[in-house]
Amino acid sequence: MFSRLLGLMSSDIAIDLGTANTLVYVKGRGIVLDEPSVVAMTEARGRGKQTLAVGHEAKRMVGRTPGSITAIRPLRDGVIADFESAEEMIKHFIRKVHNRGSWFSPQIVICVPSGSTAVERRAIQESAESAGARKVYLIEEPMAAAIGAGLAVTEPSGSMIVDIGGGTTEVAVVSLGGLVNARSVRMGGDQMDEAIMAYVKRHYSLMIGESSAERIKIELGAASMPPDGGDGPLRSVKGRDVITGVPREITISQAQVAEALEMPVHEIIEAVQGVLENTPPELAADIVEKGIVLSGGGALLARLDEVLREATGLPVIVAENPLSCVALGTGRALEEINTLKSVLSTMY
């Protein structure tokens, strides 16, 4: 009875706790927050660690902080790597969207990678509970992405979703409200950034930061060489010379970025092919008809749909709102919690 009363007075929320960004969906209002999953902490003498900034403000500090301040990304490969900062981040975002007295505890639905372990799932659930949730439900990322992309996940028909996030790529065949076949690979936007950083260091002896690599990926990123066989668009990038230690600027082309991303793209293709190989024939027939749906930030990588189409021989469609698919799907599971209860789980 008391729990039901709290439900009436609090705004239940759904969280897409991503490696790169965290999106928060409030019941009845939709997505109200989209901020980087970054926490800046400072070591206060005699008081331990203190949270200095969260989200956009903290991300601006990455790579620019003095020794006393640390900019932390609490999630790595889609799961919590730093429990304390993750809890602070979740608390901050809940307070930011809730705007009520601290005793009004929301019910929370959080998405988790399909390949996460029981220990990793418990860490996510406990972080949300410590942040003030009265009840926490978990939903697997590919299921949330499929719901957010508008796929009929509860029908006896196969649908295939490929969600390329910051830390993981989730590939799954969904039918009757469950994951028939799924694969989670630790390959996403972060690994693409690292591949670009390694390429620039190898070919130009130039060290560039994560932010510079991410900007190159967004502006020039492509899954294959430019169709005209040329270099494609060019962009300048600044960094530190590995040999002299002096700041320097170079120009990089889309063809070079495509070359740098060859291995990450190949891993994504392999994951898709692996799931297709183990899909029951009846569901495979449905996928031939419907095609593969791409979601997540990685779905925006130029020509990725063409490369996957060529590798699988199947139609490949990019979801309408690829960046918001998981958050929208998690939100819909919250809104329709009674009809979509089969896609949710809890550790207790």
Query: What's the pLDDT score for residue 6?
Result: 46
Which among 167, 164, 15 has a CA at the least distance from the CA of 81? 167
Residues 245 and 119 in one domain: no
Q: According to the annotation, is 248 in a ligand binding site?
A: no
Q: Is 300 annotated as a binding residue?
A: yes
Residue in this structure with the two tokens 């990304």, named with its chain if needed: 73
Helix crossing, 189-204 with 210-220: angle to 10°? 100
Residues of the domain holding 333? 2-37+73-143+326-345
49 marked among binding-site residues: no
Of 244, 262, 280, which closes a domain?
262
**Does residue 8 share a domain with residue 132?**
yes
Dihedral sign from CA coordinates of 19, 279, 121, 81:
negative
Q: How far is CA 236 from CA 27, 88, 194, 248, in A?
A: 43, 37, 18, 10
Report CA Rg, the chain: 21
Domain count, the chain: 3
Give bridge partners of residue 40 from the DSSP assignment. Answer: 53, 71
Residues 299 and 170 in one domain: yes
Residue corresponding to tokens 């957010």: 148
- Tell me whether residue 40 is annotated as binding: no
- 126 is a domain residue: yes
The reply to whether 297 sits in an annotated binding site is yes
How many angstroms separate the Cα of 233 from the Cα of each of 181, 204, 211, 228, 257?
39, 18, 19, 12, 10
How does pLDDT run across 42-94, given as a tens digit for each residue? Answer: 876 666 778 888 999 988 887 777 767 888 889 887 788 888 888 889 888 88
Give residue for tokens 């749906």: 293
Q: Are 166 and 189 in contact (CB under 8 A)?
A: yes
Q: Give me the tens of pLDDT residue by residue for the chain, a chain 348 residues long.
A: 444 444 444 589 999 989 899 999 999 999 999 999 999 988 766 667 788 889 999 888 877 777 678 888 898 877 888 888 888 898 888 888 876 544 468 899 999 888 888 888 888 888 888 888 889 999 999 999 999 999 999 899 999 999 999 999 999 999 999 999 999 999 999 999 999 999 999 999 999 998 899 999 999 999 999 998 889 999 999 999 999 999 999 999 999 999 999 999 999 999 999 999 999 999 999 999 999 999 999 999 999 999 999 999 999 999 999 999 999 999 999 999 988 888 888 765
Establish if 61 belongs to a structural domain.
no
Please check whether residues 308 and 179 belong to one and the same domain.
yes
If asked whether residues 225 and 310 sit together in one domain, one would say no
**Residue 207 forms beta bridges with which residues?**
240
Say yes or no: 14 and 135 in one domain: yes
- 166 in a labelled binding site: yes
336 marked as binding residue: no
Is 168 among the annotated ligand-binding positions? yes
Report residue 106 as tokens.
């929301």
Q: What's the CA gap between 287 and 281, in Å, rounded?
A: 10
Query: Is 214 labelled as part of a ligand binding site?
Result: yes
What is the value of pTM for the model shown?
0.90
21 in a known ligand binding site: yes
Cα distance between residue 183 and residue 73, in whole Å: 24
C-beta neighbour count of 47 within 10 angstroms: 8
Cα distances (angstroms) measured from residue 257 to each of 29, 119, 225, 291: 39, 37, 9, 28
SS3 111: strand
Q: Which of 221, 242, 262 is the last residue of a domain?
A: 262
| Residue 68 belongs to some domain of the structure | no
- Choose the final residue of a domain: 262, 279, 295: 262
64 annotated to bind ligand: no
117 is in an annotated binding site: no
Q: Are 88 and 72 in contact (CB under 8 A)?
A: no
Structure confidence by residue, pLDDT tens digits, 229-240: 889 999 999 999
CATH, residue 276: 3.30.420.40
